[in-house]
Amino acid sequence: MAEKMIPPAKKRANNNNNNNNNNSSSSSTHTDTEMERSPANQDKSPPKKKKPPSTSSTLESAGFFEATTSGTSRDVSMLISKFAEVLSERAAADTSQMKELEVILTEAQNLESFLKEKKKRLRQTLALISDKLQG
């Protein structure tokens, strides 16, 4: 009847242990410990309580966490300051390039107006020459 309550995998292990125990002189001692380890008897035993972590290990882990946090905080601050420095350098370079482009655009606009004025004078001169040749 007890064998029906034990799962098949356990049954084989118990049968092997029983065969081995029959050969030894302390078979009754092993049978009692096997009965104590069986699932039916485990339900009756009180659950084992987990031991709370000792205060020294908690303090060590808290100290380790604080050290890691402060180290990480320093690293992040350093990275942020480098990032801010790179951004400010890039902004300065962009501003410089914008000023250069504005100067080039102004020069191009001045040249365009100069060429338009020159074209207008040239047309007037050609019209004058054409009138003199026809007249």
Place of tokens 């995998």: 9
Domain ranges in the chain? 2-41, 95-135
For residue range 37-64, what is the model confidence (pLDDT) as tens digits?
A: 555 555 565 566 665 555 556 667 777 7
**Encoding tokens for residue 112?**
């365009």
Supply the pTM of this predicted model: 0.43
Residues in CB range of 24: below 8 A, 6 or more apart: 30
Q: 29 to each of 14, 40, 44, how far by Cα in Å?
A: 14, 18, 20
* Residue pLDDT tens, the chain, 135 long: 444 555 555 444 444 444 444 444 444 455 555 555 555 555 565 566 665 555 556 667 777 788 888 889 999 999 999 999 999 999 999 999 999 999 999 999 999 999 999 999 999 999 999 999 997
